[in-house]
Chain A
C-alpha cells in the first residue's frame, strides 16, 4: 500500500475536476445567468483541495500496486462525488447537504436520479454542471486521467482495470494511455455528432448540448422536468433511441468498426460480435413484449413504448411519458430489464449483457451435462472458450450484485418508504438507471425520500458504477492487512 501515491493521485484528479468547474462558470457568463461567482469559487476551492493533497503527498508515485489501484478508483469516485456537490450547495440549489451530495453522485455515476424539480426555470450554469458531471463520469474519470496524464502510466492499467466495466478488460492499443485517448476521442466525437443532430432536429443549442452529453454517457439528466417528453417531436425521439442504443454498445466494437473504415463491412463487424447480436435481439424482443400489453390497453403510443423501453434497457433513464402507469406486467419486465443493462465496455450500467449471456450459457451447459453425462461442453463467447476463472468470477459477481441490491432495498425500506419504492429505488440506483417505479417513478423524483435512504442509494450508485468488486474489496479487512 502506498498512501502517499494514492493521496497524490486523488489530489491531481481533484485539481482537474475543480478546473472543469470553470466551464459551467463560462456558461453562466455567456447566458448571463446567476451563479458565475459561485462556480468560480467552487472551482477554486476544489482545485485548492487537490493541490494541497498533492503537496502533502510529496510527489508522483513511482509505482502503484493493484491494491492501490482499487483504492484510488474507489476513493476517486467518492471524493469527486463529494466535491462535485459543492456548487449545488453553495448556490443554494439543493435544499440540504444530502440533496447536493445525492445529485452529484447521481450525476457522476450516470445514474440520472434527481432530487431537483423545477428544472425548466433553473439557471443554465447549474443544468450544465449536472450534464457535465454525467458526461465526465460516463466514459470514466480515471480513464480520462490515464489518457491525459502520462504520469499515471505506471499504474495506469491497474486503474483502468479497476474502473472499466465488463468481465474481461482488454486494451485497444499497446499502451493504456493510448487506449484511454482513443476512447475519449470517440466519446467526444459521438457527443458532438449527437449534439448537432439534436440541434438540427429542433432543440435549442443549449438543450442539444446538454442532452447530447446525457445521452452518450447514458446518464439521463434533462434540462426539463418532463425529460425528453418536453420535445414533442417524433424525430428527436427516434434519434435519441438510436443514440442511446449506440452508447450502449461496447466502445471496443465501435473502435474495431472505425478501424475497418466506412465500408459495408461495418455492419458485419458489429454483427459478428456475440454480445452485440444478443443486445440487438434483446432490445427488439423487449420492445415487442413491452409494446403488446401497453398498446392493447391503450396506455401509451408505439413511439413512447420504443423510447421508454430503450431508455430503461440501456439504463439511460430518460422518459417521454410515465411508464410506471403502464400495465403491471410491463412494469415488472422493465424492472428486470434494468439489471441486464447495456453491453460491457459501454457507458451503460446494469450487470451487462455479456455477463447475463454467459451465465445463461453456463446454465444451459449444466442442462446439457445432465442429458449427456459424458459430454464435453464448453461455454463459448464469439467462438472461443471462456475459461473457468472468468465464469467463476461471473457467479461471484452475480451473487454479490443481488446481495447488494437486496441490502440496499432493505435499508431504504427501513427508512420508512413502501416496498415498491424501496425495491425500485435500489434497483434504479445500483444499475445506474435513475427513475424507477412507485414513489421514484419517471413522474416523481427522489427528493421526498428520507436522508438515510438517499445516503444508502448514493452508496449503491457508486457500487453499481464500479461493478461491485472494486468497491467491495475495500470493505474486506484482508485488503488492509499487509
Chain B
C-alpha cells in the first residue's frame, strides 16, 4: 500500500514508523527539514520537504499513486485543504485528517463526497479526552478499553501489594478471582512487556491487562483489591485548561463531580470560567505549592494533569502524589516519557499520540479486522476480528493451534455471550475474537483471519 503522511510530528512519525515496518510504501511530507532528517534516519520511508497542501509538493510526493493520505500537520486548515487537493487533483481514494478544532468536528455534515472529502476526522484531543473519561470511570485501573461494542473490556492495572493477584501464577488467576472468568493477556515486569504464558508469575507492582466481560469489571476490581468510588461524591483537581482539559471538564461537569481547574494563562482562565458551569477555575501555577495547599490538594480523590506540556504534567502529578492523591492521570505526548512514567511512580497516563495512532491504524486495517489498539509501550497489540468459515483458526482446540509467537486469544464474543477461552475452547465461524499479540506478529495474526480463495 502506498501511504502519504503529511506532518512529521509525534503522530505522523508514529504512524509512519508503524506502516513502514509493515511493508507499506510511505512518503512523509513536512516543512521542517530537521524533522524529516530524523524521520529518514529512523525508518525506511521517502521524505519530501514542503508545504503539505500545495499541489506541487503533493505531486513531488507522488500523490497520484497514493492509496491513502493521512493529514496530520499541526494546522487544521492545512490538513483539510490537503485532503481537498489530494481528492480533486490526485484522486487519492482514502483520506484521513487530523482536526483539532472542536467546532469543525461537531458538524458531521462538513465532510462527505460533495463537501470536504475527508473519510475520517481524527481529533487527538477528543480521543484523549474520551480515554481520560473512560479511565476516570474505572478510576483504579491504569487503562480501560472496550471492544465488541462495549461488551468485552480490557482493563489495565498495576497490581497493588496486597492484592489477591500478587504472587500467583497465571494458571491460578481464575481461582484467585473467585471464578470470575478473566484472562491476563499482557504483562509488564521491569519495563518488559510480553504476552504471558500460563507459567508467568504476577508480582506486586507489575502492570497487567486483563480481558473480561464488561459486566464483570466492577466485581473484578473489587476482588483484585482496587476499589471504585461513586462519581458524584468525588473531588477532582484538573490542571491545564487547553483543548483536552476543556473537553474533559465539560464531561466531568455532566458527571456531577466537584471540579477545581487550574489554568496558568489569565485570559484562558477567564474564558474557562465563562464557559464552564460549576467548575471552580483557578488562575495560577500548578507547581506552586502554596496554591495547591490553599486548594486542599491533599483532599482530592482525583488529580488530572492535562496541560500541553509533558514536563509540567509529570511534575504536577508527582507533587500530587506527594500529597497522596489516590488517583492521578497524567497526559503525556512524547514517546520517551511514556516509557519512563511507570518508573517514576505514576500509574496512569494518557497519550493523545498513542490513541490517535491506534484509531488511524484501526481505520486502515482491511478485511475482517474490526478494531485494533496498542497496549503498554506500544509493543503489544490487540486485534478484534471476526472468524469466517474459511479462517485458519476454526474448530481446533486453542492449545493445539499453531499461533504466531506470543499470541493469545483473550476473549470471544459468541452470539452475544462473552467467552473467556481456555485450552479446550474452539473458535467457531462468526465468532468475534479478541487477539492479543506482539507488534512483530501482527501481520501473521491478521493472516489467520484472511479470506481464503476457496471461499469464492
Choose among A66, A156, A174, A177 the residue that contacts B26 (Cβ–Cβ < 8 A).
Answer: A174
B115 at the interface (CB under 8 A from A): no
**Which residue of chain B has the shortest Cβ distance to A172 in the bound complex?**
B46
The main secondary structure of chain B at its interface with chain A is mixed
Interface size class of B (residues with CB under 8 A): 10 to 19
Residues of B within 8 A of A176 (CB): 44
| A residues 116-162 in Cβ contact with B at 8 Å | 153-154, 156-157
Structural contact, B41 and A178, CB atoms closer than 8 A: no
B318 nearest CB across to chain A (Å): 32
A interface footprint on B11-40 (CB within 8 Å = 1, 0 otherwise): 000000000000011110000010000001
Structural contact, A171 and B41, CB atoms closer than 8 A: no
Number of A-B contacts (CB under 8 A): 25
Residues of B within 8 A of A297 (CB): none
A62 nearest CB across to chain B (Å): 10
Choose among A66, A154, A156, A174 the residue that contacts B46 (Cβ–Cβ < 8 A).
Answer: A174
B interface footprint on A174-198 (CB within 8 Å = 1, 0 otherwise): 1111100000000000000000000
Structural contact, B40 and A173, CB atoms closer than 8 A: no
A178 to B2: give the CA distance in the assembly, Å. 13
* CB within 8 Å for A174 and B33 given contacts A66-B41, A157-B40, A157-B44: no
Residues of A within 8 A of B27 (CB): 174
Structural contact, A175 and B25, CB atoms closer than 8 A: yes
Structural contact, B41 and A174, CB atoms closer than 8 A: no
Residues of B within 8 A of A153 (CB): 44
| B residues 34-64 in Cβ contact with A at 8 Å | 40-41, 44-46
A39 to B26: give the CA distance in the assembly, Å. 43
A171 to B61: give the CA distance in the assembly, Å. 12
* CB within 8 Å for A173 and B33 given contacts A66-B41, A157-B40, A178-B25: no
B406 nearest CB across to chain A (Å): 16
Choose among B2, B24, B25, B44 the residue that contacts A156 (Cβ–Cβ < 8 A).
Answer: B44
A176 nearest CB across to chain B (Å): 5
A interface footprint on B297-328 (CB within 8 Å = 1, 0 otherwise): 00000000000000000000000000000000
Structural contact, B46 and A173, CB atoms closer than 8 A: yes
A263 at the interface (CB under 8 A from B): no
B interface footprint on A62-93 (CB within 8 Å = 1, 0 otherwise): 00001000000000000000000000000000
A374 to B26: give the CA distance in the assembly, Å. 43
A387 at the interface (CB under 8 A from B): yes
Residues of B within 8 A of A156 (CB): 44
**Which residue of chain A has the shortest Cβ distance to B28 in the bound complex?**
A174
Residues of A within 8 A of B40 (CB): 157
Structural contact, B33 and A387, CB atoms closer than 8 A: yes
B interface footprint on A4-24 (CB within 8 Å = 1, 0 otherwise): 000000000000000000000
A156 to B40: give the CA distance in the assembly, Å. 11
Residues of B within 8 A of A177 (CB): 44
A153 to B45: give the CA distance in the assembly, Å. 11
A66 to B40: give the CA distance in the assembly, Å. 12
A157 to B41: give the CA distance in the assembly, Å. 8
Structural contact, B44 and A175, CB atoms closer than 8 A: yes
Residues of B within 8 A of A157 (CB): 40-41, 44
Residues of B within 8 A of A173 (CB): 25, 46
A2 nearest CB across to chain B (Å): 17
Interface centre among B2, B24, B33, B45 (most CB of A within 10 A): B45
| B residues 425-454 in Cβ contact with A at 8 Å | none
**Which residue of chain A has the shortest Cβ distance to B45 in the bound complex?**
A174
Structural contact, B46 and A171, CB atoms closer than 8 A: yes
Residues of B within 8 A of A66 (CB): 41
**Which residue of chain B has the shortest Cβ distance to A387 in the bound complex?**
B33
**Which residue of chain A has the shortest Cβ distance to B42 in the bound complex?**
A157
Residues of A within 8 A of B24 (CB): 174
**Which residue of chain B has the shortest Cβ distance to A177 in the bound complex?**
B44
B442 nearest CB across to chain A (Å): 17
A135 to B451: give the CA distance in the assembly, Å. 45
Interface centre among B26, B40, B44, B46 (most CB of A within 10 A): B44
A residues contacting B by CB (< 8 A) are 66, 153-154, 156-157, 171, 173-178, 387
8 pairs of residues in contact across A and B, judged by CB atoms under 8 Å: A157-B44, A174-B2, A174-B26, A174-B44, A174-B45, A174-B46, A175-B45, A176-B44
B residues contacting A by CB (< 8 A) are 2, 24-27, 33, 40-41, 44-46
Per CB-CB distance, the 10 closest pairs between chain A and chain B, nearest first, are A174-B25, A174-B46, A171-B46, A176-B44, A174-B26, A174-B27, A175-B44, A174-B45, A175-B25, A157-B44
Given pairs A173-B25, A175-B45, 7 additional interface contacts (CB within 8 A): A153-B44, A157-B40, A157-B41, A171-B46, A174-B24, A174-B27, A174-B46
